[in-house]
Structure 1
């Protein structure tokens, strides 16, 4: 049975000129795309099946990510239903020269596990084995005061 730690993924992408808006910062749609992509990877790692986005909860863009800085996206599964998986996704901006970073966005996405025809598939039970697993579950639930 998978644990939250098993599903933890962190990815970095440097924001390029073709990913920016008129303010020379990452376009919100680009940030959301990165979140959806990395979140789906965590969900699929957990479910062992293809997972599709079913819901995005209160996605906040607190700060911009300037062109040339790095979007650091981290995601992990913190809860699961019968066919659905809840994934916490956070984004930080990181200066590639200094490593200095700050939180720019976070959300919870719900993904549904599906078979090749797109029918929902059962997911395994989430198992909490370590202190790190417990911490990840608490961080996931804390996003919306669950």
Structure 2
């Protein structure tokens, strides 16, 4: 079974309140991360028709601060489907209600896994790729998975070679005392 990306897209807009802010008066990053996880869950569950869990989150960069009183819109869509997992692309934008100014605040990728009623991994429908952007996003997800495997293995304790990194560390804000 295959589904069009449009069938699972989710958009959520919420007004940012003072209770969502941190000590500097900006919206707390943890609050935004929570919203991102919720919309990724909703998108993955809608696509798979199963309860889904977050397996990983890839790279969260906070590009622009979000102010109290702004509208925040989160957009989520399925970028990639494996056998039981999906990569959900999430984009966060804010809008100043008074000026109409919009800012891209962050984008991230959530790997979600579908679960059946017994808690076992459940198969998910594949994606119908209909344009260059959908092919690019799918391919980028495959590439990110390959990079993650390489990164994980290279720094595994049994594979790590300290001498390869000593000169690099000496150029950083760290003191070697080994």
What is the TM-score with the length of structure 1 in the denominator?
0.88
Superposed, which structure 2 residues align to 1:16-27 within 5 Å? 16-27=17-28
Superposed, which structure 2 residues align to 1:1-146 within 5 Å? 1-128=2-129, 130-131=130-131, 134-139=132-137
Q: Distance in 1 between matches of 2:96 and 2:73?
A: 10
CA deviations over 1:2-56 (Å, ceiling 9, x no partner): 1111121111111111111011111011000111111111111111111111100
Size of the aligned set, in residue pairs, is 143
**Which one has a bigger Cα radius of gyration?**
2
| CA RMSD between the two structures | 2.0
Structure-2 change in CA distance of 1:113 and 1:144 (3 Å): closer
Please list every run of 5 or more consecutive structure 2 residues that lacks an aligned counterpart in the other structure.
Answer: 145-178
After TM superposition, give the deviation of residue 71 of structure 1 in Å: 1.1
**Structure 1: which 4+ aligned runs deviate by more than 4 Å?**
139-146
**Larger % of strand: which?**
1
Q: Distance in 2 between matches of 1:40 and 1:137?
A: 22
**Larger % of helix: which?**
2
Contact 2:53 2:112 survives alignment (8 Å): yes
What is the TM-score with the length of structure 2 in the denominator?
0.73
- Between 1:95-104 and 1:78-87, the stretch displaced more is 95-104
